[in-house]
Amino acid sequence: MASPEPTKIRNVAVVGHGGSGKTSLVESLLHSVGATTRLGKVDDGTSILDTDPEEQKRHITINMALASFTHDGIKINLIDTPGFADFAGDQHAGLRVADAAIVFVDASAGVQVGTQTVWSELENAETPRIVVVGRLDRENADFDRVLEQLREAYGIRVVPLHVPVGEHQDLKATIDLLHGQVLEGPKDPVADVGKEEADRVGNYRQQLVEAIVETDEDLLTRYLDGKELSYDELRDALHKAVREGKVIPVAASSAHKRVGFAALLNTVREMLPSPAEAGSVIGRSPSGDEIARKPDPSDKLSAFVFKTLADPFVGKLSYVRVYSGTLHHNAQVFDATKKETERVGQIFFLRGKEQETTDAVGAGDICAIPKLTATTTNATLCDKDAVIQYDAIEFPPPSFAVAIEPSSKADLDKLATALHKLTDEDPTLHVRREDATHETILSAIGESAIEVAVNHLKNKFGVQVEMRTPRVPYRESIRGKAQAQGRYKRQTGGHGQFGDVFLEIEPQPAGSGVVYATRIVGGSVPRNFWPAVEKGVRETAERGVIAGYPLSDFKATLFDGSFHAVDSSEMSFKIAGSLALQNCVKEAQPFLLEPIMNLEVLVPEEQMGDVLADLNSRRGRVLGMEATGAGLQRIKAHVPMAETFRYATDLRSMTGGRGTFSAEVLGYEECPSHIAQKVIAAHEEHVEEQPAAAR
C-alpha cells in the first residue's frame, strides 16, 4: 500500500471511556472491509489490536494501536487509544497526530467520566469529531436517552445522523437521515425508508437539517423560504460544519450485530477532514522563529514521532506522522530534537502487529519505523538543510509513586537499561533517585500504570523489582545553639588514632544548608586537619543524626581541640568532627522538617464536600476554591507529602474517576511532634537491628 495524496487520507483517533467498546468497534470495522481475515475479540484474547500480554490479561487497551486500511479510495488511519485514565498518555499522543476523532459512547452506560474528560481535551484542541453510540444490541441500550444526554451536556450542535432500526437483540439496521435510507447488515445494502420509520425519525431529521442550515446563511434563507435542499448541498455544508466544529453528528452501531459499519465509514470519508483540509502545521526553526509546513508531498520533509514501542526481541518501533514532504526508506533524516542523523531502513503501515512494508510515506500519512537509534517520542525528523522542530506532546503529570528496588544482584545490573527503555516507551513514567532516602522512585499517572510498568520490567526486560510506599524525604534541623566535644582515641599494636575537636552549632535561615567555619586560636588543631573535620561534619549532616535524614540549615564552627604528634591523622579528625556534630545536635533542640506539597484539585461541584473533608483529614490547609466551568471546582491546598502517596487512587474513588489533581513540592515545614517521634523511633529501631559493622 502506497500513500495516497493528502486529500484522500483520514487520520482519526478513536476515543472514549475505558471499557466502552472502542477496540471491538475498530476490530469489526477492519474485518468488515476485508482488512483482516479473522474477527479479533478483546474478551477472549484474540484481539488484533490489543496484543500486549497485559492488555490480554486485563481485557483493556493500554497502548495505542494503529489500524490502516483503504475504503472506497480513501485511506483511513484509525488510532485506537486507551480509555482508562491511568494510560491517558497514549490518548494524548493519538489526538496530537489525528485530524479528527470518533468519540465512542456505550449505549447502555451513556455519557461517562472518560467521555467528559476526552471531550474537554477535544474542545481545547478544537478537534473535529463525530460521536458513535455503540453496543445498541445490549438489553439496557437506549439510543434516544444517550442522544439526549449528549445534547444536554454539549449543546444542540450534537445532532443525530444515523439512528437505529429495532432495539436490543432485534436491532437490524440504521437509518441515514441525510440520505433518507435504511442501511442493513454488515455491508449495508440500501433499502427505502418505510412510512412507519419515516414518521419515527422525522423529528431527528429536522434536528439534523436545522443544525446544518444554521451554519450557512444561504441555505438557511432557502430553508426558511420552504425551498427543497439537495443531498449534495446538505452533505457539503455538513462536512464544512463538522470541520469547523459547528456540528457534531451522532451515528449508531453494534459491533456484535455488525450493524452501522458502512454508514460509519461513509461518514468518516465524507464528513471528517483530510490532512489537506487540516492545513499547515506550525513548527520552529533553530533560531526559534515560527515555520509553517503545508501537507505537500513535494515539500521539504518534516515528521513527528508520537509513540515508541520497545520490544526486547524486535527492537524499537517508532510511530511517525509525516506532516510535509515524503519519507523514503533507506534515507538519511535529521533528528532535530537530538541533533543527530538517523538512517531510515524499512517503513511499515500497521494494522495492530501486522506490518505492511512500503517504500515511501507522503505528507499526511502515518507509519512506523523500526530500529531508529537515538530517536524517541516527541522527536521531529526532517531534512538537514531545512530544520524544523514541532512542539512536544504535553503528557499528563504523574500522580502516583512507588519506591522500587531490584530483587537480586542480576536484576540490579539490568535495571537502569530496562528503566530507560520503559520510559522511552511510556513518557508518562518518570524515574528519579531520591537522595534523602536513597530510593529509586517510579512515578506514573495511576496505580494500574505502575503495576503494568513493573510487569513489563519483568516480562519484557527480565528485571524483577520489589515495590513499596516511598519513604518521606524528611529533613533534620536545630532550634538552639550548642557546643560539644568530639574525641576519638584508639590504640592498636602500632600507631594509634587520636583526634579531638570542639564544635559549636547554631541555626541558620531556611535554605542555608550547611555553613562551616573555623576560629582556631594557637594551633590547638593543626591547619592540615581542618578539611578532615569539615568532611566529617558534612558527611554526618548528609546521613542525619536523629532520624537518618539530611541535617541542614545550621552553622558549624570548629573553635578548639587537641592533637597527638604521632597518632593524629586525617581519618581520626574526620571521625572526631562527626562525633562532635552528633553530640552538639543532641543539645541543640533538634526537630524534623517534612515536605509540603502544593496541591491543585479539580473536582465536580457535587463532590466538593467529600474532597474538602478528606483534605482536612490529611492535615491539609485549603487556600481557596474557584469555579472553572463545566460544573468543576478548583481547590488549592497545601498538604504534607506523607499524606499524598495514595491520593490519586483515593481521589478517583471519591469522585467516581472525575477528580484530577496536580502536585509539586512547595517547601519544608516543621513536622508535628507526634509524627516526628514515630519517625525517630522507627529509625532507632532500624539502627538497633543493623549489625555493628554496618552502623
Q: Which of 106, 84, 80, 87 is nearest to 12 (CA)?
A: 80
CA distances from 541 to 2, 130, 140 (A): 65, 61, 65
pLDDT of residue 691: 56
Phi and psi, residue 326, nearest 5°: -135, 130
Short-list 423, 454, 421, CA closest to 310: 421
Query: Strand pairing of 9-16 and 74-80?
Result: parallel
Task: Give the chain's domains with CATH numbers.
Answer: 6-278 (3.40.50.300), 281-382 (2.40.30.10), 400-468 (3.30.70.870), 476-588 (3.30.230.10), 592-674 (3.30.70.240)
- CA–CA dist 352, 52 (Å, integer): 10
Q: What is the pLDDT of residue 185?
A: 55
Torsion, Cα 521 526 531 537, to 10 degrees, reads -60
Please, what are the averages of pLDDT over each run of 10 residues along the chain (695 residues)?
90 94 91 82 81 88 94 95 93 97 94 89 94 92 94 93 86 84 61 67 89 93 90 93 96 88 90 95 94 95 95 83 96 95 94 92 96 94 96 92 94 92 93 91 94 94 94 95 94 82 95 92 89 96 93 95 89 96 96 94 90 95 85 91 92 88 91 93 78 49
* Rounded Cα–Cα distance for residues 405 and 138 (Å): 46
Identify the pLDDT of residue 628. 78
Residue 294 amino acid letter: K
Q: How far apart are the C-alpha atoms of 553 and 501, rounded to whole Å?
A: 21
| Burial grade of 604 (CB within 10 A; 0-12, 13-18, 19 or more) | middle
State residue 139's pLDDT score. 87
> Three cell numbers at 222?
432557502
Instruction: Quote the CA–CA distance of 133 and 82 in Å, as a whole number.
Output: 18
Extended strands (E) in 157-219:
158-160, 162-165, 173-176, 181-184, 190-192
| Cell of residue 513, nine digits | 544548608
